[in-house]
Amino acid sequence: MKRTQTLAVSLAERLCRPQRIGVFGHRGVGKTTLLTMLYREAVGGRLPELRLAAADARTADYLSDKVLQLEAGHPLPATLGETELRFHLYYRGVRLDLLFKDYQGEHVALGREEPIRDFLRDCDAVWLCLDAPVAEAPGPCLQAQQEVEQIVEDYLVAQLPGTPPRPMALALTKADLLPSDPSSVNEVINRHFRMTRHTLELHCPQHGLFAVSSLGGPMPTASESVKPFAPRPVGLATPLIWLVESLQTQDEARLNQLWNLPGNHVPLLERCVASFARRYPGTPATVAFQRRLRELRQKRLRRRTFAGAVAAACMLLSLWTYDALGQQRASRFEAANAGDPVAVRQNWLSYQTWHPTRNLLRPSAAQVERQRLRELDERIHAKQYADRLAELRHHANDPDADAETVWQELQSFHRDFPEHDVDSAWQHFRAALKERRDAERERRAEQAFAELERTGEQGALSARIEQADRFLRDFAGTMRESEVRRRRAACLLRLDERDIESARAYSAGQPLNFQTRRERYQRYLERHPDGAFAKEANEALKNIDADWDKHDFRAVRDHFQANPGDVKELQVRCRSYLAVHPQGRFRDSARDVLRWTERVTQPGEYRVVLKSGSFDRKVAYFFSRGPSLSVEIEVNGVRYGPSNIVARNYQPEWNYEFPRRVRWKLGDTVRIVITDNYYWNRRVADISSDQSEPVSMRWLSGEVNSGTNSLTFESDFTMPTMPKIE
Ligand SMILES: Nc1nc2c(ncn2[C@@H]2O[C@H](COP(=O)(O)OP(=O)(O)O)[C@@H](O)[C@H]2O)c(=O)[nH]1
Ligand SMILES: [Mg+2]
């Protein structure tokens, strides 16, 4: 089977690929010239009804080169290496793809194993080239024929079993060198190439014998080669026509062989017939093959349809059997378990799941199935009803049964079977059950109440409230309910009081622990959102916030008033105030102080005006009519002034603005020198700020005293104003 398959594939490959044509011949036999001239003549329309076209650019280039060389009278150089030449050959509607190889003639010499031998072995037809001159030389003639013999042997070995022998032709080249008598060809062959002829006749029914002259005469010799050469080929159509005919015969034989191979090769046949029809369109063989293929396809279709129908029938039959068996089993189960409708229903459902196709052929069966399930459901319901009723009655009659449980059972029975007939007997039954259950409940409530009382006053308030909650949940509607409710309310109130009391006590004891004070009141509110003291707690929270705010700002203010020069500490206090009270009442003031501390620590320039003075009588000379005073100031070692002189006045009004801005920063000293400008200048006062006044700029912004004398300045230096805190 495997061998047949390989053979089929190999035949199909040969039928579909381009046909390989071997041109066998030793060096100088005229292979290259023959291929070139075949192309030149057949493409140029000089061979009637034949056309040989180059199938790719490489082939076209290779051959056009050679043609030009020949026509220019240059002999062709010896071929080196191997060149693939691809052609399309057209002849009377036949179209063949051909692959030739031109190669170095030495490669086929006796005893050599070159790659071209593989090509020659594998090719579909071969021209065995022997040239006319060799006939005259017995030695080379024998050797040439031995080379032919070797290749024929190769074919015979490689030939697949049952395949037709490959077409082979003896091409006698350079026929122009033979005597012009037409019978001479036969004679030469008979005389000199008998060996080859015999081989072909014996092994190859498709053989040919022809003489060709590619050039029609010898090429001009080297000395004459200046002028163009006009070849006059003879007999070139014959090898091509032989090729067409013998390849067609071979293809037919191959296709027939493929057809006759055992096994199913329809796809291969389809491909090969298509290829055959492309090569030999419209030939009787093509028509016959196509008809055969159509018949084969129809046969296959019939076979497949039949097989499909049989398979479908088998499947239907097996399905039917499977479903019938399933139904039979389910029916048997129903008969055996008549008393257990639940199991029977379950079994029918499982049958339905496992036999999804059961009703395909019998639509009415689905109706029957639905009806059967409905009946089963009714039976199940009726059975459950009877069972539950019997159970309920049984429990009701049991004096030890828990009355509450039985009562709940009755309720759920009503819910599940609303269709139950509520006649007077049933009402009586129900009333008795309720009475028993109520009495039982009261008894239990009494017990729970007693338990509550036992816990009494000493239990933790929250635990007692929880206990009361439980009671109210379990025994709502019993006689003790209102009493328990009252007790619960009392407990709640006491708990409320206790919690607010604790918050109050903490606040009184730790007035400055604002955070914890808040937490205590907040905890109260969480526990008693609607507590009796919720209003008080909210009020307390507001007050604590206000107190806290004031307390923290007071720390800022007090320090500022006592030590305005201690900017480090002031900054710390302002920042901590702002962090704790971002929305505090004094946040703007705190920010003012902070900004002021930043401003005064950097040197600033201030406008200073000397306004007026008030001086003691003693300052002037006894005999003068009053002092004539001027003022000079010195800040951080830099002098400003002196001012103008107000003559003879104890209350001078200078209103003198120091022309230069006073440059000052925190810590700089201010010195004030007052001079009486009488006939000779006399220093009336010379005062300097010291450590105790780091904000010495204040001197130049208001009144400054020296003993009983005073000076008033004005400047654009300001101190932050502190709000009232109360
Ligand atoms: N007289 C004559 N000489 C030919 C003919 N064909 C080829 N030759 C000569 O034979 C020699 C070898 O030809 P070439 O095609 O190169 O042979 P290859 O080696 O088989 O390819 C060249 O000198 C050709 O001129 C022909 O038809 N008649
Ligand atoms: Mg050559």
pLDDT per position as a tens digit, 133-142: 888 888 989 9
What is the distance in A from the centroid of ligand 1 to the CA of 242?
22
The CATH architecture annotation of domain 21-245 reads 3-Layer(aba) Sandwich (3.40)
User: Which of 23, 24, 33 has the most ligand 1 atoms within 8 A of CB, as the residue to mutate?
Assistant: 33
| Stronger pLDDT, 241 or 180, i.e. the higher one | 241
Average pLDDT over residues 618-624: 71
| Stronger pLDDT, 334 or 619, i.e. the higher one | 334
- Sign of the Cα torsion 99, 103, 105, 106 reads negative
| Stronger pLDDT, 534 or 459, i.e. the higher one | 534
pLDDT at 309 over 80: yes
Q: Does ligand 1 have an atom closer than 6 angstroms to the CB of 18?
A: no
Q: Quick check: 565 and 694 in contact, CB under 8 A? A: yes
Average pLDDT over residues 42-47: 92
pLDDT of residue 456: 75
Using 50, 70 and 90 to split pLDDT, how confident is the model at 182? low
pLDDT at 619 over 80: no
Point out the ligand 1 atom lying closest to the alpha carbon of residue 218: 1
Q: Does ligand 1 have an atom closer than 6 angstroms to the CB of 79?
A: yes
SS3 492: helix
3-state SS, 344-380, equals HHHHHHHHHHHCCCCCCCCHHHHHHHHHHHHHHHHHH
Q: Which ligand is nearest to the CA of 36?
A: 1
pLDDT of residue 307: 95
pLDDT in tens, 679-719: 778 888 999 998 888 899 999 999 999 888 999 999 999 99
Q: Take atom 4 of ligand 1 and give the residue whose Cα is closest.
A: 174
Q: How many CB atoms lie within 10 A of CB 183?
A: 8
What is the distance in A from the centroid of ligand 2 to the CA of 71?
17
| Stronger pLDDT, 265 or 298, i.e. the higher one | 298
pLDDT at 170 over 90: yes
pLDDT of residue 180: 73
pLDDT at 148 over 60: yes
* Crossing angle (nearest 10°) for helices 194-203 and 184-192: 90
Q: Does ligand 1 have an atom closer than 6 angstroms to the CB of 75?
A: yes
pLDDT of residue 625: 78
Q: Write b or e for each residue in 321-354: b if 16 or more Cβ atoms lie within 10 A of its Cβ, otherwise e.
A: eebeebbeebeebbeeeeeebeebbebbeebbee
Average pLDDT over residues 319-338: 92
Average pLDDT over residues 49-64: 95
* Half-sphere exposure for 588 (CA within 13 Å, toward CB): 4
pLDDT in tens, 331-352: 999 999 988 999 999 999 999 9
CA angle 467, 469, 474 (to 5 degrees): 95
Average pLDDT over residues 262-269: 86
Point out the ligand 1 atom lying closest to the alpha carbon of residue 25: 20
pLDDT in tens, 596-605: 999 999 999 9
Q: Which ligand is nearest to the CA of 132?
A: 1
Point out the ligand 1 atom lying closest to the alpha carbon of residue 214: 27
**Which residue has 């199991």 as its token pair?**
343
Percent of the chain with pLDDT over 90: 71
Point out the ligand 1 atom lying closest to the alpha carbon of residue 219: 25
What is the distance in A from the centroid of ligand 2 to the CA of 410?
117
- Sign of the Cα torsion 329, 331, 332, 334 reads positive
What is the distance in A from the centroid of ligand 1 to the CA of 108?
17
Mean pLDDT of the chain: 91
pTM value > 0.85: no
pLDDT of residue 546: 95
pLDDT of residue 111: 78
Using 50, 70 and 90 to split pLDDT, how confident is the model at 410? very high
SS3 631: strand
Q: Does ligand 1 have an atom closer than 6 angstroms to the CB of 233?
A: no
Q: Quick check: 61 and 17 in contact, CB under 8 A? A: no
pLDDT of residue 657: 96
Q: Quick check: 302 and 44 in contact, CB under 8 A? A: no
Ion ligand 2 neighbours, Cβ < 5 Å: 32, 79
Options 1.10.260.40, 3.10.180.10, 2.60.40.150, 2.60.40.1150; which CATH number does 603-715 get?
A: 2.60.40.150
Average pLDDT over residues 210-215: 94
Q: Which ligand is nearest to the CA of 103?
A: 2
Q: Which ligand is nearest to the CA of 27?
A: 1
Q: Take atom 19 of ligand 1 and give the residue whose Cα is closest.
A: 28
pLDDT at 361 over 80: no
Q: Is the peptide bond before 115 cis (omega within 30 degrees of 0)?
A: no
User: Which of 76, 147, 225 has the most ligand 1 atoms within 8 A of CB, as the residue to mutate?
Assistant: 76
pLDDT of residue 710: 94
pLDDT at 223 over 70: no
Average pLDDT over residues 643-659: 94
Q: Does ligand 1 have an atom closer than 6 angstroms to the CB of 174?
A: yes
Q: Quick check: 499 and 525 in contact, CB under 8 A? A: no
Q: Which ligand is nearest to the CA of 35?
A: 1
CA distances from 426 to 35, 273, 414, 565 (A): 121, 95, 12, 99
pLDDT at 224 over 60: no
pLDDT in tens, 445-504: 999 999 888 887 777 888 899 999 999 999 988 999 999 999 999 998 999 999 999 999
The residue ranges of every structural domain in the chain are 21-245, 603-715
What is the distance in A from the centroid of ligand 1 to the CA of 244?
25
pLDDT of residue 160: 76
pLDDT at 249 over 80: yes
DSSP 266: H
Alpha helices in 75-124 (DSSP H): 115-122
pLDDT of residue 222: 63
